[in-house]
Homo-oligomer: A and B are copies of this chain.
Amino acid sequence: MTQIAPSTIARLSTTDLQFDARLDALLAWESVSDAGVKQTVETIIADVRARGDAALIEYTARFDHWHPQDAAALELDQERLSAALEAIPSAQREALEAAAERIRAYAEHQRLQSWQFVEADGTVLGQKVSPLDRVGLYVPGGKAAYPSSVLMNALPAKVAGVPELVMVVPTPGGELNELVLAAAAIAGVDRAFALGGAQAVAALAYGTETVPACDKIVGPGNIYVATAKRAVFGQVGIDMVAGPSEILILCDGKTDPDWIAMDLFSQAEHDEDAQSILIAWEAEYLDRVKASIERLLPQMERSEIIAQALSARGALILARDQDEAAEVANRIAPEHLELSVAEPEALAEKIRHAGAIFMGRYTAEALGDYCAGPNHVLPTSRTARFSSPLGVYDFQKRSSLIMASAAGAAALADTASALARGEGLTAHARSAEYRGPGTGEKP
């Protein structure tokens, strides 16, 4: 196992003169698709729009190194998904089914409901909630093929009532990940295609002879996939374009430091850009966690990635007290926030910005990543300031409802007319005035 000194993890204190600037530098992350990637993606999208299936077959041959004999060969039918579910080890199947059950049960709490109310004059106002018609789910292939992501993206859509969920997954060298297909079977994916990259995103956004056009595309992917999603945004809805994964832990110094070290590792092992930060208000506790990191790191299968991530973007931060730690947490607005303290509920009251809050010493982020119930698709890179975990609500949308009674319209017409004339929009004014007092039951 490669030994990389983990002792380079940054050590900060909120009392440092340069603390704000050092924290900003640590958090800085701007994902920029270079001009070459953008150009490649735009070419692929234009080509798929123009040539449909023929373009999909060519790009699949070129990028995934397998040659589908025709467009129909791109589809993975329900029998194929079921076969994968039958084929995987029963322990894996049971774990997937247990996780799916909890994810589904939690998602049920998120379903938005239509509502309306009637005013005294009989006017009805409300909002009608509908599921999306068809949703595309991108699942990465190769090493980063995570069956848990299939569950987390697919189940909220199905709970929302989306009638048709279309999955795409690249098959580099024609190789399929059986766990991913099994997860798709459990989650109720309706159609699946062995497709990846920008060409898959283009197909989901615009449709081809074989792949149906979707209304929204969700799911993670590499820089080509992310760039393609940004490019088709507007034509279809997309979820957030995710940055590297992050964990922030606030600890009162009473949790076994090995537990905290492993929680930091669990984020850092994703990739070299992942961010693991611990804030405590006892310097001695930071020393103990650092000792745990140094002792445990060499045992880890992914020690090299972990060490690189901790060195590049990790930190152990000393705060003055718990309140100050909460303030720093709000500034960081982390994707994952562990409150490893004696009274996590009181501390959570002080948190305004975090994708998910893991409360108490027993609530390892890893439990939430897989099976606690809440979604593991969460806002990264400080976007928790303004966005939310993926949920059922992302697969529903609202239509406003307005039904004015004759009396209600008469009452509103004066106000609407005055404002419309103030804005110089006289057709608006006259349209309102037709429904104004004195029009009676004319029509």
Contacts and interface: CB of A to CB of B under 8 A. Distances in A.
A383 B235 CA distance: 7
A359 interface: yes
11 contacts: A110-B127, A148-B419, A358-B403, A363-B402, A364-B416, A364-B431, A367-B416, A368-B400, A371-B415, A372-B412, A388-B398
A133 interface: yes
A434 interface: yes
Given A386-B236, A400-B356, A148 B423 contact: yes
A127 B431 CA distance: 44
A263 interface: yes
A256 B254 CA distance: 75
A311 interface: no
A352 interface: yes
Interface in A368-400: 368-375, 378-379, 381, 383-389, 391, 397-400
Given A409-B362, A425-B269, A357 B402 contact: yes
Contacts of A397: 379, 384-388
Contact of A237 (B124, B387, B391): B387
A266 B92 contact: no
Interface residues of A, number: 123
A362 B148 contact: no
Nearest to A374: B400
Interface string A407-443: 0110011111011101111111111101100000011
A366 interface: yes
Contact of A399 (B133, B355, B416): B355
For this chain, the copies found in one complex come to 2
Contacts of A352: 130, 133
B302 A386 contact: no
A48 interface: no
Most buried by B among A124, A262, A300, A359: A262
A143 B188 CA distance: 52
Nearest to A130: B352
A359 B405 CA distance: 10
Given A266-B430, A306-B427, A365-B431, 12 more contacts: A125-B373, A215-B385, A256-B442, A262-B434, A270-B425, A301-B426, A364-B432, A366-B420, A371-B416, A372-B412, A385-B397, A388-B397
A128 B348 CA distance: 9
A147 B419 contact: yes
A406 interface: yes
Given A423-B148, A427-B300, A402 B435 contact: no
The interface centre, meaning the residue of A133, A352, A386 with most chain B CB atoms within 10 A of its CB, is: A386
Contact of A403 (B92, B345, B353, B423): B345
A132 interface: yes
Interface stretch (A11-19, A94-102, A167-175, A282-290): A94-102
Contacts of A442: 256
